[in-house]
Amino acid sequence: MMENSAAQRAETTYQVYLCLHGARDAYPEKTLRVVISELMYSEIYAWRAVGITRAALDIYHRAGRNRVKGIERAHLTDRAVMVRHILYREAPLPKDDLFTYWRETDRVVIAEKRENRSNTLGDWIPFDNDDARFFPPMNIGFRYRSAIEGELVRVLVHRQLRGASPSPAR
């Protein structure tokens, strides 16, 4: 199978979006949400982490290099709201607007499972991740690499303990 370039994939995604927009009344909202979400998941900025809760930071900090369980990505904007915004409008969004909206809105906070499931993120710690290098998505879940996300955790803990503001290594 030939590997598609990012531009080809974006064009295909946009064409599918146009088809779904035109046929949105023919499908249940959940089906539309799943299809759009799966298409957008292949983009580098999908589920882009922009922060971490204090509880999740503490779990990672205490675990050191050990693997942790019970950490999830919590969407800041409900996926159903995002899909309604792009599909349930008179005219479809132009291609650039569609991808800009998704890139800016499909943001998550790394959270303890309990926080995510109860929708109680509370006070979370933001971090710069415009290039989506931290906590990248995998097939299910996200990747935590000690040398990359572990360094971010150490920097954020240092900031919290000392009130300092060092930047994570790039």
Q: How far is CA 107 from CA 9, 91, 142, in A?
A: 21, 25, 13
Q: Where are the domains of the chain?
A: 6-162
pLDDT in tens, 87-113: 999 999 999 999 999 999 999 999 999
Is the pTM higher than 0.85? The answer reads no
Question: For position 166, what pLDDT does the model report?
Answer: 45
The residue ranges of the chain whose pLDDT is under 50 are 1-2, 164-167, 169-170
Question: For position 4, what pLDDT does the model report?
Answer: 60
Please give the helix or strand (H or E) that residue 13 lies within, else none: helix 6-22
pLDDT in tens, 62-80: 888 778 888 999 999 998 9
